[in-house]
Amino acid sequence: MSDNTHTVCDNSYIDCVRNIVKWYTKEISLMNSNDFYSEVADISKLEVNPYWHKVENGIAIEFYYGLPLYLWTKYGRVRLIGSCTHYNLIGINMIQDLTSRLIEKFSCTLLYPLEKRHDGDFGPVYQIGNVNGMNVDNVSGHVTRIDYQINKAILHKVSSG
C-alpha cells in the first residue's frame, strides 16, 4: 500500500461504494427524464453479485462496451445501472461527458485497458482512487467467494443508508 492511501474499514468502505453509486445514478437521472432513471437512482435496488469480480482491497469500475456498468468491491460486483442498452436513451456525447467527469471526480486510474474479444468488448476497468476526500486502497487480487447470505446482509447494509 502506498503512503497516500488509507485502509478503509467496512463502514467507510460501504459508504464509499454507496457514494459512488449515488453520484452516478443521480447524474444519469439528471440526463434523462425517463421514469426508468428515477427507479435506477433508488439505492435500495442495488444489485450485488458475490461470485463475480470480488477484490481483496480497493474499488474498481468496470466498463462494458465502453460504458460504466459495474463496481468491483470486496463484496462482489455491484451493478451501477440496468442493461447497457439503457444508455441509448441518453446519447453517446452525454455518456462520454459523464465518463470523463466520473474518472476525474473519483481520481480513477486505468487498471485494465479495453479488451476486444470474440464474445464482446470488455473494459476498460479503472481503479477508484478517492471518494469524497478519502483515498481508497489500490485494487488487489480476487478472493474466494463468501457465503451468499453474508453478502446479502452486507448489501442490505449498503442499500439501506
Q: What is the pLDDT of residues 41-79, one digit of tens each?
A: 455 566 777 777 888 889 999 888 777 888 998 888 888
CA 109-115-117 angle, 5° bins: 165
Is residue 43 a part of any domain in this protein?
yes
C-alpha cell at 100: 470523463
Q: Considering its fold, how many domains does the chain have in total? A: 1
Q: Residue 68, preceding bond cis, omega within 30 degrees?
A: no
Task: Quote the pTM value.
Answer: 0.73
| Cβ 60 vs Cβ 127: under 8 Å | yes
115: pLDDT strictly greater than 90: no
The pLDDT score that the predictor gives to residue 108 is 96
Judged by average pLDDT, the poorest of 86-100, 113-127, 139-153 is 139-153
Is residue 5 a part of any domain in this protein?
no
| Cβ 71 vs Cβ 78: under 8 Å | yes
For the chain, what is the mean pLDDT? 75
85 lies in which domain range? 10-159
Is residue 96 a part of any domain in this protein?
yes
